């Protein structure tokens, strides 16, 4: 088995990553809230197998969506509105890794810590630091929440490529929807603070 190429700024396995303020009990209640169970974990593993050879194609669709909406591409641009190609490329590589992590990583303390890191990288304290980008200072939470739909709706055609029956594809799709919703709920923590 080959080791994937290092992705700049991808720190899931960094032992120095700060722990998440989200507790195991918080996570369990969120998992229950999105009705995520063992069958979903298994369906996600299958989804990971199906998606692993299609990551670039998925990213092409997602980046096409972002690029077609000026209010979204603005968050990867200079304050004057010029898209930053290097920044987009570095985030794209991590986005690809996120797809596989969503499907394969256990929901443990390290995963929670990296979810918090992802969240912070969308907010003023950490946006642009990882990539040393001269971009806008934060991504509003409303756009992260709204992005749940396109990230979910556009994955289904890719899930059908594995030759599974409709019931299996639907199980993968529902598990993906739950997993994305769960992560966005976690990413809202630094935005909401005590209200979370």
Tell me whether residue 106 is in a domain: yes
Tell me whether residue 83 is in a domain: yes
The model's pTM: 0.95
pLDDT level of residue 192 (50, 70, 90 thresholds): very high
Tell me whether residue 5 is in a domain: no
| Residue pLDDT, tens place only, 84-102 | 999 999 999 999 999 999 9
| Residue pLDDT, tens place only, 34-83 | 999 999 999 999 999 999 999 999 999 999 999 999 999 999 999 999 99
Is the pLDDT at 4 greater than 90? The verdict is no
Which residue is listed with tokens 């991504």?
139
Q: Which among 108, 102, 86 has a CA at the least distance from the CA of 24?
A: 108
Count structural domains, the chain: 1
Mean pLDDT of the chain: 96
Its domain, for residue 135, covers: 24-191
Is the pLDDT at 105 greater than 60? The verdict is yes
pLDDT value for 1: 47
DSSP the chain: -PPPPP-TT--TT-TTSPPPS--HHHHHHHHHHTT--HHHHHHHHHHHHHHTT-HHHHHHHHHHHHHT-HHHHGGGB-TTS-B-HHHHHHHHHHHHHHHHHHHH--SSHHHHHHHHHHHHTTSTTTTTTTTT----S---HHHHHHTHHHHHHTTHHHHGGG---HHHHHHHHHHHHHHHHHHHHHHTHHHHGGG-
Tell me whether residue 50 is in a domain: yes
Tell me whether residue 14 is in a domain: no
**Contacts with 130 (C-beta within 8 Å, 6 or more apart), sequence order:** 8, 9, 90, 121
Is the pLDDT at 2 greater than 80? The verdict is no
Tell me whether residue 16 is in a domain: no
Tell me whether residue 35 is in a domain: yes
Is the pLDDT at 131 greater than 60? The verdict is yes
| Residue pLDDT, tens place only, 146-183 | 999 999 999 999 999 999 999 999 999 999 999 999 99
Tell me whether residue 99 is in a domain: yes
Taking residues 8-21, what's their average pLDDT? 96
CATH number of the domain residue 98 falls in: 1.10.490.10
């Amino acid at each position: 088995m080959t080791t994937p190429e290092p992705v700049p700024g991808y720190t899931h396995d960094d032992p120095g990553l700060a722990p998440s303020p989200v507790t195991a009990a918080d996570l369990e209640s969120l998992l229950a809230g999105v009705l995520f169970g063992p069958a979903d974990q298994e369906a996600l593993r299958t989804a990971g197998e199906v998606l692993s050879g299609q990551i670039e194609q998925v990213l092409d669709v997602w980046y096409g969506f972002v690029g077609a909406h000026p209010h979204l591409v603005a968050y990867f641009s200079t304050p004057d509105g010029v898209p930053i190609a290097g920044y987009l490329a570095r985030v794209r590589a991590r986005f690809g890794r996120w797809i596989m992590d969503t499907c394969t990583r256990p929901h443990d303390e390290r995963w929670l810590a990296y979810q918090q890191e992802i969240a912070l990288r969308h907010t003023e304290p950490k946006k642009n630091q990882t990539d040393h980008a001269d971009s806008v200072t934060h991504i509003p939470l409303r756009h992260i929440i709204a992005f749940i739909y396109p990230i979910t709706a556009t994955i289904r055609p890719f899930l059908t490529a594995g030759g599974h029956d409709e019931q299996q594809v639907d199980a993968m799709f529902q598990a993906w929807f739950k997993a994305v919703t769960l992560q966005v709920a976690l990413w809202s923590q630094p935005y909401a603070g005590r209200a979370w």
